């Protein structure tokens, strides 16, 4: 059981990172980023290319995965979402736009990266014994890095001026603009931060699981499950949702045959949403 | 009591609506003539193209259901899931019990509608992105269900070699002869009939009082319930009709391809059904048909680009949304006459 709990911790911390990214985008833009899983996948490939193909250190690749996928997000905001959001009659169109982007990125990745599964050499060797369970050192490194990143992100949003502006924009765009905050710059940056986190978690997880071009949709669905459990648009809810899903998944995989686990998770989430439609931490959204 | 309620949006164009009823009927006849007479005459010899048109008609039939859930203000991504349910109902009944296809077709729709009602009742309480996300999960859950119970669905191997539809006869009178092996025209006509029936029913529904109730749900559910409308009942009815369309369409595809796998309908298909509605325009009953026609024919035209096909296609899709965020028909309408007071 300790083993299962430790696995849940590994998966949970990285999932929390994914959920945080999608939550930031949702809370400031009111857009559900359906392309999140595809951006995650691209992050994984960025690390693979820098580490394996170009022979540079893993950590350099990780930084690059944040920067490259983050810049991709900024471009998406500037050239796709902003012009469409200004002109649409119905807000669903932005969701469709995100889906179109997801299909586009995935088919583009299939051409550029190919169909093969890609992994990187282990970032650390050896096995650590912890409370009677054995865990490869690489996984512990991933947990620690992911936890540090989450802490850094929460500190950034909670205590810096930019973070405060982001929170203000999530609450009320117009009032924030009246306070002299440059919304154009800020929303592009917030979008880039969210997608950058997707890239970062993809880059981090490629150290444990191999990545392939079709991985995106499954990750997007998991991200939706997490924010539905935790509550859309709430950062603490995203972290909680990540850990809950990580726990359910690890327990499920330990006890049940493969495809049944997620079927049961879906049923649990549907039943849970009937009781609490806004998730654990969520506030009602219009 | 209920009859005296006048919905905020129907009292305006009452007289106008009646006089313009001829136009939609004319348009429907035109589509029927184009589909049943012109296409077989022009492309009848080309089996591949006939297949494309068959698929297009059946896909727009399924998309009408998505359109209806849009009409009540919900983003429905579960359509592929219910189509998969319909496909499996037909496949299991035809292959295991030897039930006639002509019974399975409506039965698949009924089963999908029933399940849709059961799932929809609680799930429809959610709105906006929550509903979109949960319906996406339902599509994925349907695929996993098909994978997880191989005793019934044969898992990933799928159910293959389904027989072609037999003859449909009533009191010894043959109405539809048995489908021949390799013949494409019967499926072509069947898909067209389904499409026209689906379109006609949607149009009747949209112009009836129920259609006005559905639109009022999209505008403001609280206001609608304050007028004495049973909101929960109407939205479940709309969702069940949508699921019925999905189930019938799924059964059709299972028989057309003579097989069904858990991946026959998946999340991407749900997205495409939605895209067809959007590209056509959400304010028009005929929107899904126009969207499916435009998107699927452009996909076929891009066939020459081989492995770049999907990239260019999705790129065009994004461009389409960028240039016409409110659908193709909205552009046509705007150029034709000044913007009317739409219901949106």
Using CB atoms, which residue from A96, A228, A285 is nearest to B275? A96
Name which of B332, B335, B124, B157 is nearest B237 in CA terms. B124
Using CB atoms, which residue from B145, B317, B325 is nearest to A88? B325
Using CB atoms, which residue from B136, B307, B314 is nearest to A221? B136
pLDDT for res B248: 92
* Cα gap A160→B206, rounded to integer Å: 52
CB A84 within 8 A of CB B321: yes
3-class secondary structure for B98-155?
CCCHHHHHHHHHHHHHHHHHHHHHHHCCCCHHHHHHHHHHHHHHHHHHHHHCHHHHCH
Burial class (CB in 10 A: 0-12, 13-18, 19+), B24: middle
Q: Give every CB contact of residue B262 below 8 A, 6+ residues apart in sequence.
A: B84, B143, B144, B146, B147, B153, B155, B156, B158
Q: How far is A259 from chain B (nearest CA, A)?
A: 6
CB B120 within 8 A of CB B243: yes
B156 to chain A: nearest residue by CA?
A259
Structure tokens at B111: 């089963």
CB B224 within 8 A of CB B213: yes
pLDDT for res B20: 64
- A277 contacts in chain B (CB < 8 Å): 125-126, 130
* Cα gap A171→A219, rounded to integer Å: 28
User: According to CATH, what is the number of the domain B22-336?
Assistant: 1.10.3470
pLDDT for res B308: 81
Q: How far is B39 from chain A (nearest CA, A)?
A: 31
pLDDT for res A165: 86
Tell me the sheet residues that pair with B170: B173
Using CB atoms, which residue from B138, B141, B321 is nearest to A100? B321
Residues of chain B predicted below pLDDT 50 = 1-18, 336-344
Contact: A266, B141; criterion CB under 8 Å: yes
Residue to mutate among A95, A264, A284, with most B CBs inside 10 A, is: A95
Burial class (CB in 10 A: 0-12, 13-18, 19+), B99: middle
Phi then psi dihedrals of residue A88, to 5 deg:
-80, 155
The residues on A that touch B, with CB distances below 8 Å, are 26, 32, 80, 83-84, 87-90, 92-93, 95-97, 99-101, 103-104, 107-108, 110-111, 217, 221, 224-225, 227-228, 232, 257, 259-260, 262-263, 266-267, 269-270, 273-274, 277-278, 285-286
Give how far Cα B174 sits from Cα of A30, B6, B167, B191, B197, Å. Answer: 57, 48, 7, 20, 21
* Cα gap A262→B145, rounded to integer Å: 10
Local confidence pLDDT in tens for the 286 residues of chain A: 777 888 888 888 888 888 888 888 888 877 888 889 899 999 989 888 888 888 888 888 888 889 999 999 898 888 888 888 877 767 777 888 888 888 888 888 888 887 777 777 777 677 777 777 777 777 888 888 888 988 998 888 888 888 888 888 888 888 888 888 888 888 888 889 989 999 998 888 888 887 888 788 888 888 888 888 887 778 888 888 888 888 888 888 888 877 788 888 888 888 887 777 777 776 654 3
> Domain spans of chain B?
22-336
The residues on B that touch A, with CB distances below 8 Å, are 70, 75, 119, 122-123, 125-130, 132-134, 136-138, 140-141, 144-145, 147-148, 267-268, 271, 274-275, 278, 282, 307-308, 310-311, 314-315, 317-318, 321-322, 325-326, 344
pLDDT for res B6: 44
Give how far Cα A88 sits from Cα of A152, A285, A286, B152, B169, Å. Answer: 36, 20, 18, 45, 51
pLDDT for res B14: 45
CB A235 within 8 A of CB A76: no
- A88 contacts in chain B (CB < 8 Å): 325-326
Query: Residue A120: which H helix or E strand, with range?
Result: none
Name which of B208, B256, B213, B201 is nearest B61 in CA terms. B201
Structure tokens at A277: 């439609």
Q: How far is B220 from chain A (nearest CA, A)?
A: 11
Q: How far is A56 from chain B (nearest CA, A)?
A: 30
SS3 B159: strand
A223 to chain B: nearest residue by CA?
B133
Contact: B322, A83; criterion CB under 8 Å: yes
Q: How far is CA B148 from the centre of its chain?
A: 27
SS3 B286: coil
pLDDT for res B83: 92
SS3 B170: strand
Burial class (CB in 10 A: 0-12, 13-18, 19+), A75: middle
Contact: A273, B134; criterion CB under 8 Å: yes
B262 to chain A: nearest residue by CA?
A259
pLDDT for res B343: 41
* Cα gap A69→A55, rounded to integer Å: 20
Question: Would you say the ipTM is above 0.90?
Answer: no
What's the pTM?
Answer: 0.82
Q: Where are the beta strands (DSSP E) in chain B?
A: 168-170, 173-176
């Amino acid at each position: 059981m300790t083993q299962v709990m430790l696995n849940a911790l590994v998966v949970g911390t990285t999932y929390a990172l994914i959920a945080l990214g999608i939550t930031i985008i949702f809370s400031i833009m009111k857009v559900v980023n359906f392309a999140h899983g595809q951006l995650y996948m691209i992050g994984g490939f960025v690390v693979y290319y820098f580490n394996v193909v170009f022979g540079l250190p893993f950590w350099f690749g990780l930084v690059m995965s944040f920067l490259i996928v983050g810049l991709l997000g900024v471009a998406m905001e500037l050239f796709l979402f902003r012009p469409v959001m200004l002109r649409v009659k119905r807000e669903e169109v932005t969701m469709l736009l995100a889906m179109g982007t997801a299909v586009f990125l995935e088919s583009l990745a299939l051409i550029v990266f190919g169909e093969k599964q890609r992994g990187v050499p282990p970032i650390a060797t050896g096995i650590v014994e912890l409370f009677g369970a054995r865990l490869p050192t690489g996984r512990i490194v991933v947990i620690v890095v992911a936890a540090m990143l989450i802490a850094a992100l929460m500190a950034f949003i909670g205590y810096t001026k930019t973070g405060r502006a982001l929170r203000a924009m999530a609450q009320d765009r117009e009032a924030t603009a009246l306070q002299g905050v440059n919304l154009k710059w800020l929303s592009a940056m917030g979008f880039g931060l969210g997608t950058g986190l997707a890239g970062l978690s993809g880059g981090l997880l490629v150290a444990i699981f191999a990545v392939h071009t079709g991985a995106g949709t499954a990750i997007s669905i998991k991200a939706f499950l997490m924010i539905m459990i935790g509550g859309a648009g709430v950062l603490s809810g995203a972290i909680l949702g990540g850990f809950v899903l990580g726990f359910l998944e690890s327990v499920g995989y330990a006890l049940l045959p493969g495809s049944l686990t997620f079927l049961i998770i879906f049923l649990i989430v549907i039943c849970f949403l009937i009781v609490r439609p806004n998730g654990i931490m969520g506030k009602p959204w219009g | 009591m209920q009859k005296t309620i006048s919905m905020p949006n129907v009292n305006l164009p009452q007289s106008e609506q009646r006089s313009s009823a001829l136009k939609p009927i004319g348009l429907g006849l035109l589509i029927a003539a184009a589909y049943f007479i012109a296409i077989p005459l022009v492309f009848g010899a080309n089996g591949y193209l006939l297949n494309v048109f068959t698929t297009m008609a059946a896909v727009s039939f399924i998309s009408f259901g998505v359109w209806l859930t849009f009409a009540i203000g919900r983003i429905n991504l579960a359509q592929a899931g219910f189509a998969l349910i319909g496909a499996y109902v037909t496949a299991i009944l035809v292959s295991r019990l030897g039930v006639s296809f002509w019974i399975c077709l409506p039965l698949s729709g009924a089963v999908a509608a029933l399940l849709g009602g059961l799932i929809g009742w609680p799930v429809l309480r959610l709105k906006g992105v929550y509903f979109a996300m949960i319906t996406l999960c339902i599509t994925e859950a349907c695929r996993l269900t098909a994978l997880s119970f191989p005793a019934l669905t044969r898992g990933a191997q799928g159910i293959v070699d389904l027989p072609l539809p037999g003859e449909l006869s009533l009191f010894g009178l043959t109405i539809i002869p048995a489908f021949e092996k390799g013949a494409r025209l019967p499926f072509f006509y069947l898909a067209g009939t389904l499409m026209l029936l689906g379109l006609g029913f949607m149009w009747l529904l949209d112009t009836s009082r129920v259609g006005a109730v559905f639109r009022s749900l999209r505008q403001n559910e609280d206001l609608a319930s304050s007028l004495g409308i049973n909101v929960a009942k109407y939205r479940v009815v709309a969702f069940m009709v949508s699921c019925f369309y999905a189930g019938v369409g799924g059964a059709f595809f299972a028989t057309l391809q003579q097989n069904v796998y858990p991946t026959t309908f998946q999340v991407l298909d749900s997205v495409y059904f939605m895209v067809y509605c959007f590209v056509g325009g959400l304010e028009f009953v005929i929107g899904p048909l126009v969207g499916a026609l435009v998107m699927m024919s452009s996909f076929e035209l891009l066939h020459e680009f081989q492995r770049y096909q999907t990239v260019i296609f999705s790129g065009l899709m994004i461009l389409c949304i960028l240039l016409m965020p409110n659908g193709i028909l909205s552009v046509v309408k705007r150029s034709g006459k000044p913007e009317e007071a739409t219901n949106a």
